[in-house]
Structure 1
Amino acid sequence: MHTYEHQLLTVNGISLSLYTAGPADGPVVWLLHGFPESWYSWRHQIQLLADAGLRVIVPEMRGYGQTSAPSEIAAYDLMTVCGDIQAAMDLLGQRSVAVVGHDWGAPVAWHLALLEPERVKVIGAMAVPYGGRPKKPAIEIIRNQFADRFNYILYFQQPGVAEAELDHDIPRTLRMMMHNTSAAVPKDFFLQKKPAGSSLHDGMQDPGAPPDWCEGDAFDVYVRTFAGRGFRGALNWYRNFQRNWERTAPLADRKVLQPALFLLGDNDPVGTLEAHTLQKMPAWVPDLEQHLVADCGHWLQGEQPEEVSRLLLDFLKRRYIVQR
């Protein structure tokens, strides 16, 4: 494991855990992880970007690791989570940044770009596209589409239900999530049809060991991220779709005008879930570069680290570093 600087910042009513690398005066890039991940999911990219002269900042997002995990569900809405990062930027005196997010980190990155058009100079997003604010809350759409069959987002809605399953054996949960949404299984294996009363793990494969791309030390970091606290804080992100929709109303007509990079694994089931949004994205993100990463599932930074690092660094060099 590489050596990183670590600090805890008091911002936005919480303690925010940050890992940093690279020269203190380098161009700043934030790397935002998703669910159920760890700041260490960026391990391959951190050192590469730091060696290129960037100041790399990687938070443990609200509800994860050493960062606070408030008990209230409403404490995890998208605008509040964006506020964590904005407050940290303010405290650190950052006026010009790049923001890159994967999975749930991607909506945070997209909305930081909308909220901070002067400070956020470029954005990178992985797995989750942006197609504007929906006409009604996404949770309503999902409930209508999956009235009689299982959907993992609906399964996550009732507090305590998903926690009972996921917290029971944290290493098993993590290896199953990694395996069943990776390129090791057919693209839509995770989205297989199941009765509405199913659990998340029903019908899924337990590989018995972490995938090769999440080597032992790295997997241990993931496990420690949830040890002692479980998945409740992380799951609460999914319980705010209605609140997210309400609180983003002032942003409804805004487009992401910054240069943007979007990466999607060719075997990522999110590509199926977000097919309509992918079609809409160029209209809402006019300065967009898109790449489909081959032989890759949902976990781009880990499954194809060299290709993702190459694409990300090339984009930052062309659209961010040289513009400073």
Structure 2
Amino acid sequence: MNEPHLEILDINGIRMQVATQGSGPLVLLCHGFPELWYSWRNQLAALAAAGYRAVAPDMRGYGGTEAPAEPDAYTTLHLVGDMVELVNTLGEQQAVIIGHDWGALVAWSAALMRPDMFRAVVGMSVPFSPPGRVELLSALASRGISDFYIQYFQTPGVAEAELERDVESSIRRIYFNGSGDGPDGPVFGQLQPGKGFLGEMIEPETLPAWLSLEDIAYYTREFTRSGFRGGLNWYRNMTRSWALLAPWRGCVIRQPSMFIAGSRDAVLKFPGSVRQIEAFAQTLPGLRGCHLLEGAGHWIQRERATEVNELLLGFLKKL
């Protein structure tokens, strides 16, 4: 199988690096934090082999894509706008959109806002919930919570300094501890006082089979060059995005949809995640599968590439 073709495109006012493999109906793949197009390379190959045009961008602020200096240039409207413009620039009118982690929020939002363009959607790790009347940071504060990792990410420069002190170690620890191979512990959740985001994360004695030295070298090289500011700015727009999504409050996604996550994904332990999944019958009336892969953690498309590819291809073939 050929390797993905990398190119730089002008998308929505920024320069965006895009990986493309195969030809046929368009499938967009949106990564999360802290990842890159590279996180989808198993899916790019599988989709291309099955007759699809698979496209995975470095999302706004990541890798080879531009990272605007203005912190408010990372709202959900910017991120969905990037994907709409990418479809147009690729000369297509429709796409299936697939997202993981923050990319899942982009995919769900794109399907919500542009059902004419995004004919089906798959979210991984982060369940869909219609935009609501309660904003997350305010909700945490009202419960007396001040040590959630998303709150720690809000202050510019703080998380950057921690993660960039030793990029290779940061990448290795986040990926291992967030996976199904890592120890039980609060990777994405409440932090220990004074210990930062990485404080409780251990270094792996050996790398799990799905994470190679070459993988770590690629992510390390890219995040050493770009830093983590772009990705962290997505978190710093949560309140702004919540306000901008007011017109879609309570809206559901009617297109064909699917959800995939690992049973050991820490995101599923967030307040509300189980309730959101239980509400899929109402919020995702086009749902064609909700799959929790036993023993897998957060990096589901990498940890369980074969299973995820089978689920994606089964979903796509029935559209």
Shorter-chain TM band: over 0.9
1:106 is displaced (CA, Å) by 0.2
Q: Which amino acid aligns with 1:314?
A: G
1:2 is displaced (CA, Å) by 5.2
Note closer, same or farther for the CA distance 1:193–1:32 as it changes in structure 2 (3 Å cut): closer
Task: Provide the aligned C-alpha RMSD in A.
Answer: 1.7
* 2: CA distance, partners of 1:146 / 1:82: 32
Q: Compute the TM-score of the two structures, normalised by the length of structure 2.
A: 0.94
1:16 matched residue in structure 2: 16
* 1: CA distance, partners of 2:229 / 2:36: 15
Note closer, same or farther for the CA distance 1:159–1:210 as it changes in structure 2 (3 Å cut): farther
Q: 2:152 aligns with which of 152, 155, 177?
A: 155
Q: 1:225 aligns with which of 216, 219, 222?
A: 222
Q: Please say if residues 33 and 103 of structure 1, whose CA atoms lie closer than 8 Å, have aligned partners that are also in contact.
A: yes
Count of paired positions: 316
Does structure 1 residue 94 correspond to structure 2 residue 92? yes
Q: 2:50 aligns with which of 33, 37, 52?
A: 52
Look up the SS of the partner of 1:101 in the other structure: strand
Look up the SS of the partner of 2:318 in the other structure: helix
Q: 1:216 aligns with which of 203, 213, 216?
A: 213
2:252 matched residue in structure 1: 255
1:101 is displaced (CA, Å) by 0.2
Note closer, same or farther for the CA distance 1:269–1:78 as it changes in structure 2 (3 Å cut): same
* 2: CA distance, partners of 1:232 / 1:299: 21
Alignment of 1:1-324 (within 5 A): 3-23=3-23, 26-145=24-143, 147-148=145-146, 150-190=147-187, 194-207=191-204, 210-273=207-270, 274-288=273-287, 289-319=289-319
Q: Please say if residues 267 and 297 of structure 1, whose CA atoms lie closer than 8 Å, have aligned partners that are also in contact.
A: yes
Q: Which consecutive segments of 4 or more residues in structure 1 shift more than 6 A?
A: none
1:189-223 per-residue CA deviation (whole Å, 9 max, x = no partner) reads 42575444431111221226643311122222212
1:134 is displaced (CA, Å) by 2.2
Q: Please say if residues 46 and 309 of structure 2, whose CA atoms lie closer than 8 Å, have aligned partners that are also in contact.
A: yes
Structure 2 residue runs without a partner (length 5+)? none
1:230 is displaced (CA, Å) by 0.9
Identity %: 38
Q: Please say if residues 32 and 59 of structure 1, whose CA atoms lie closer than 8 Å, have aligned partners that are also in contact.
A: yes
- Larger mean CA deviation between 281-290 and 291-300 belongs to 281-290
* 1: CA distance, partners of 2:247 / 2:190: 37
Q: Compute the TM-score of the two structures, normalised by the length of structure 1.
A: 0.93
Look up the SS of the partner of 2:196 in the other structure: coil
1:91 is displaced (CA, Å) by 1.8
1:285 is displaced (CA, Å) by 0.8
Note closer, same or farther for the CA distance 1:173–1:146 as it changes in structure 2 (3 Å cut): farther
1:246 is displaced (CA, Å) by 0.9
1:63 is displaced (CA, Å) by 0.7
Q: Please say if residues 178 and 211 of structure 1, whose CA atoms lie closer than 8 Å, have aligned partners that are also in contact.
A: no
1:243-288 per-residue CA deviation (whole Å, 9 max, x = no partner) reads 1111111111321000001001011011111223223333111111
Structure 1 residue runs without a partner (length 5+)? 320-324
* 2: CA distance, partners of 1:213 / 1:111: 29
Q: Which amino acid aligns with 1:175?
A: R
* 2: CA distance, partners of 1:110 / 1:69: 23
